[in-house]
A and B are shown apart, each in its own frame.
Chain A
Amino acid sequence: MLFGYLDAGSGSLILQAILGGAAGILVAFKAWKARMMGKRAVADVEGSDGSAVPTDS
């Protein structure tokens, strides 16, 4: 009897793209950029209605 437990790990998932070579580095950059833009959009929305702007986690 074995119970499986697996945490893929966010950083490890992004790292996989980098490990895939030149094409993967571009994918990782795009994913990172999308993440940054997503964060900025959230910050803009939260900042515009007067609530606190979250800092980078």
Chain B
Amino acid sequence: MRLLDERGLAGWEALAATDFFAKATADGRLIASKRVDPPAPGAAAALEHPLVPFVSYPYEWTFSMLRDAALLQLDLLAESLAEGLTMKDATPYNIQFVEGRPVFIDIGSFEPYSPGEPWIGYRQFTRQFLFPLMMRAYAGVPFQPWLRGNPEGPTAGDMRNLLGFWQRMRPSTLLHVSLQARMEERMSGTAVRSQLKTAGFNAELILANVRKLRKLVEGLESSGREAGWIEYESCQHVGRDRETKTRFLEAALADLTPSRVLDLGANDCHFAERAAAHGCTAVAVDGDEPVLDAVYRKGSPVSIVLSDLNNPSPSQGWAEMERPGLTARARPDLVVAYGLIHHLIYTASIPPTAVLDWLAGFECPVLVEFVAPDDEMVAKLTANKVEAELHPGREKGEFESAISARFSVAATENLGEGSRTLYRLNPLPANSGATGAE
């Protein structure tokens, strides 16, 4: 539900009368909207939108996701200008991914175009779309940590400092980065809108800029990092165990009929896609960008979240309420943690009991894969560690004892040569007093 004031209502009525609104809503680029009456007290009107199944933020997106969001932003601006409207901002926070496609959700961004006005969102577009993409494409630097640290995005001055001499010599960076940085430094705080209007600024100039920006954004490609787990599915145990793990998941999906499934350490999203095929909202979390980017590009319907699970997205923004953390947003009915916890225990050095506490915190059934210390993958992960550097509780018997303090075991299945075990765990009743008892 969205409440509109008088200005918002004027923007909505102008938008609803355009051909582009009907077209963009029909093809799913713009969120569907229905005016509902009567509005709440004090509001001029109210709009109802369908629920976005899972909200993610740009610092959780892959390169291709941010690039597609940027193209959507530019296309909607060009199409709205052609029918006498403009957009008053240009931020990826107005875009969400639904079934693997970007959808613009902020109907209030559109307003009638006033002749002679420049594009107010240009600077915001460069900071929150263009510069993060350039950062990855030209400097090989991931944009996600920057956007997580500063949701406003890098300034033109920041970008100029990030780029090397030859990168700054590209025509696109000379104009959008170096010249913008220089002009911002020289003209800060100067009123220029009326002067631009008097000098003859018009919508055609915005459209020319948008067309060139579109071509620039479309040509940007991610660079600077080799794939980490992109060959994961070629690992011996993955092919060997995949069928059993899928069957174990399918049984849980049939028994529990969850609405939302959270796949932690999703990698190529095979299991999340199985959940989506059952009609669930499948949220796939992984820390490997090349793998998730490939999943996105093939058109997977899962909700992709790029995040390291030993440091998931925290609650951020004003009063830490604007953008809730990943755990607060997840609210799953079923958690899948296949091939994950040994990485948390052995690579990230999280104690096994802390990992189980974390899983119990989701307060729903959990499918977890335990990997014993004698597994070949654990041998690789601990090749340069000594016993004193490892947490206790890694043996299967100790792990099962820790499980019983937090969950009841609904099903188990051994995998492959016996060093791996699947568990379906149900949370203990809230009044049992056993959760986190160790």
Does A17 touch B at the CB level, under 8 Å?
Answer: yes
Which residues of A, 1-48, contact B by the 8 Å Cβ criterion? 1-21, 23-24, 26-31, 34-35, 38
A1 touches B204 (CB 8 A): no
User: Chain B residues near A8 (CB, 8 Å)?
Assistant: 118, 120-124
Which residues of B, 179-211, contact A by the 8 Å Cβ criterion? 179-180, 182-193, 195-196, 198-201, 204-206, 208-209
**What residues make up the interface of B, taking CB atoms closer than 8 Å to A?**
88-89, 91, 93, 118-124, 126, 152, 156, 175-176, 179-180, 182-193, 195-196, 198-201, 204-206, 208-209, 212, 317-318, 321-323
A16 touches B152 (CB 8 A): no
Which residue from A6, A17, A28, A29 sits with its C-beta under 8 Å from B124? A6
User: Chain A residues near B198 (CB, 8 Å)?
Assistant: 30-31, 34
For the complex of A and B, list the 5 residue pairs with the smallest distance between their C-beta atoms, beginning with the closest: A11-B183, A20-B205, A30-B199, A12-B123, A11-B184
B209 touches A14 (CB 8 A): no
User: 6 extra interchain contacts, Cβ-Cβ under 8 A, other than A9-B184, A10-B189, A15-B183?
Assistant: A13-B192, A14-B187, A23-B205, A24-B201, A24-B205, A31-B199
- In the bound assembly, the distance between CA atoms of A50 and B209 in angstroms comes to 46
- In the bound assembly, the distance between CA atoms of A17 and B206 in angstroms comes to 8
B322 touches A3 (CB 8 A): yes
User: Chain B residues near A29 (CB, 8 Å)?
Assistant: 199
- In the bound assembly, the distance between CA atoms of A28 and B118 in angstroms comes to 11
A27 touches B183 (CB 8 A): no
B93 touches A17 (CB 8 A): no
- In the bound assembly, the distance between CA atoms of A38 and B190 in angstroms comes to 12
Cβ distance B314 to chain A, nearest Cβ, rounded Å: 16
B208 touches A12 (CB 8 A): no
Across chains A and B, the number of contacting residue pairs, with CB separation under 8 Å, is 125
Which residue from A7, A11, A17 sits with its C-beta under 8 Å from B187? A11
A35 touches B208 (CB 8 A): no
Cβ distance B319 to chain A, nearest Cβ, rounded Å: 9
Cβ distance A56 to chain B, nearest Cβ, rounded Å: 9
- In the bound assembly, the distance between CA atoms of A24 and B323 in angstroms comes to 39
A30 touches B122 (CB 8 A): no
User: Chain B residues near A11 (CB, 8 Å)?
Assistant: 180, 182-188
User: Chain B residues near A27 (CB, 8 Å)?
Assistant: 196, 199-201, 205
Cβ distance B130 to chain A, nearest Cβ, rounded Å: 12
With A9-B184, A20-B209 as given contacts, are A35 and B179 in contact (CB-CB < 8 Å)? no
Q: Can you spell out 29 A-B residue pairs with CB atoms less than 8 angstroms apart?
A: A6-B91, A6-B121, A8-B122, A8-B124, A9-B123, A10-B183, A10-B189, A11-B182, A11-B183, A12-B184, A13-B122, A15-B179, A16-B209, A17-B118, A17-B199, A18-B175, A19-B205, A19-B209, A20-B204, A20-B209, A21-B208, A24-B208, A27-B201, A31-B192, A31-B201, A34-B195, A35-B190, A35-B195, A57-B190
User: Chain A residues near B199 (CB, 8 Å)?
Assistant: 17, 27-31, 34
Cβ distance B116 to chain A, nearest Cβ, rounded Å: 10
In this complex, what residue of B is CB-closest to A5? B152
A31 touches B122 (CB 8 A): no
Which residue from A9, A15, A20 sits with its C-beta under 8 Å from B208? A20
Cβ distance B209 to chain A, nearest Cβ, rounded Å: 4
User: Chain B residues near A17 (CB, 8 Å)?
Assistant: 118, 196, 199, 201, 205
Cβ distance B80 to chain A, nearest Cβ, rounded Å: 17
Which residue from B93, B152, B193 sits with its C-beta under 8 Å from A13? B193
In this complex, the member of B124, B180, B190, B205 whose beta carbon has the largest number of chain A beta carbons within 10 angstroms is B205
With A3-B322, A7-B123, A14-B183 as given contacts, are A35 and B192 in contact (CB-CB < 8 Å)? yes
- In the bound assembly, the distance between CA atoms of A38 and B318 in angstroms comes to 40
A16 touches B205 (CB 8 A): yes
- In the bound assembly, the distance between CA atoms of A18 and B175 in angstroms comes to 9
A21 touches B184 (CB 8 A): no
User: Chain A residues near B322 (CB, 8 Å)?
Assistant: 1-3
B212 touches A23 (CB 8 A): no
